[in-house]
A = this chain, B = another copy of it.
Amino acid sequence: MEDKLMLMIPGPTPVPEQALLALARAPIGHRSGDFSKIFADVTAKLQWLHQTQHEVLVLTASGTGAMEAAIINFLCRGDRVLVGENGKFGERWGDVCDAYGLQTERVKAPWGSPLDPEVFREKLAADSNKTIKAVIITHSETSTGVLNDLATINRYAKDHGTALIMVDAVTSMGATSVPMDDWGLDVVASGSQKGYMIPPGLGFVAVGPRAWDAYKTSNLPRYYLDLGKARKDAAKNTTPFTTSVNMVMALQASLGMMQREGLAAIFARHERQQRATRAAARAMGLGLLADDSCASPSITAVVPPEGVDAEQVRANLKKQFDIVVAGGQDQLSGKIFRLGHLGFVGDRDILAALAALEATLQRLGHSGAVGAGVSAAIAALGAS
């Protein structure tokens, strides 16, 4: 049906009506007092979401632009960095580091497995000359649905003493707790079309004081993504370059909704929906790429059973039910499909998607008790 699409992909995620209506407002001048008030309010709300007193800077860019800003503002040519790589977005961090001539040391794990914190511990502990300048981690690996153990890896980085910790929180921010100040995270990058519940078009970089110290000596070239410029102007509630005014107005609306729901409730909702999705998948006889111990709160990668084609599952969900789920990327192409439960997703959406998935599997000839998946999801969602 026209206009009936339901996005269950890990971004863009569904956008609530009040954010859509804010997008449709006539723009105001980005240098006006009225806009500065909006920008100040949005900045305070972003700090709330990041659980930080430090700057959260707004870039007109995608999440990758925010990631690149993290790298190029706080490091120097030739710096040794440890980059966690267990999926497409970990690979991307490494690619960005390579593009700027860093000494990129990849700490790999297979796609679908979590990064091993012990490898980081060993490398950091052995670095008595303090040559490691940063540890760069994808928190929730969107390509596999794995949540890396950021808390532990961060602890090892802290034990090292000088290495910065930089986090891609693109699909974890707004889905699970990323307590920037409590953990002492130095740089946290994210993007608007995920937990923020607005369309793509804005990137965010939160920056702590140790990173600003490193900024002073960083020598990588930059202009548009120069966070020092952004910091200076953010102090005056503005941006160095014309910001995406309508997107910022939509963000004000969506962050307001998030504040009214509350951080604890948001995180509990994502965790509950993740458990329900995984329980249902198991009950339907489907495989799960990531183990329970490292399951992302926002995205579940499902391995279809023998004889069922992942792309056929996606095609039927789209055609019959107007539900869009994501496919596998690169080495996982055709082998999995990925169900997003990120952002503006209610328990009703989860039941609808899982029921549609059961109908689809039946149509594709998968034997199994129809109804088992939905029953398992209902049980997992509980009475809340």
Please name all residues of chain B whose beta carbon is closer than 8 Å to the beta carbon of A61 when the two chains form the complex: 60-61, 65, 224
Q: A290: shortest Cβ distance to chain B, in Å?
A: 22
Residue on B nearest A7 in the bound complex, by CB: B29
Stretch at the interface among A39-47, A147-155, A242-250: A242-250
1/0 per residue, CB under 8 A from B, across A88-118: the answer is: 0000000110011100000000000000000
Contact assessment for B7 and A224 in the assembled complex, using a CB-CB cutoff below 8 Å: no
Contact assessment for A201 and B29 in the assembled complex, using a CB-CB cutoff below 8 Å: no
Please name all residues of chain B whose beta carbon is closer than 8 Å to the beta carbon of A32 when the two chains form the complex: 324
- Residue A95 contacts which of B9, B14, B199, B223 (CB distance < 8 angstroms)? B223
A12-B223 in contact given A5-B28, A60-B61 (Cβ < 8 Å): no
Q: A32: shortest Cβ distance to chain B, in Å?
A: 7
Indicate whether A175 reaches chain B with its CB closer than 8 angstroms.
no
Indicate whether A30 reaches chain B with its CB closer than 8 angstroms.
yes
1/0 per residue, CB under 8 A from B, across A237-272: the answer is: 000011111110000000000000000000000000
- Residue A243 contacts which of B23, B28, B62 (CB distance < 8 angstroms)? B62
**Dominant SS among interface residues on chain A:** loop
Contact assessment for B23 and A221 in the assembled complex, using a CB-CB cutoff below 8 Å: no
Q: A30: shortest Cβ distance to chain B, in Å?
A: 7
Contact assessment for B15 and A245 in the assembled complex, using a CB-CB cutoff below 8 Å: no
Please name all residues of chain B whose beta carbon is closer than 8 Å to the beta carbon of A65 when the two chains form the complex: 60-61, 224, 241
Size of interface on A: residues with Cβ below 8 Å to B: 52
Bound-state CA distance A136–B327 (Å) is 44
Bound-state CA distance A222–B220 (Å) is 11
Contact assessment for A221 and B30 in the assembled complex, using a CB-CB cutoff below 8 Å: no
- Residue A68 contacts which of B63, B99, B223 (CB distance < 8 angstroms)? B223
- Residues on A lying within 8 angstroms of B by beta carbon are 3, 5, 7, 9, 11-12, 14-15, 20-21, 23-30, 32, 60-65, 68, 95-96, 99-101, 191, 193, 199-201, 220-226, 241-247, 324, 326
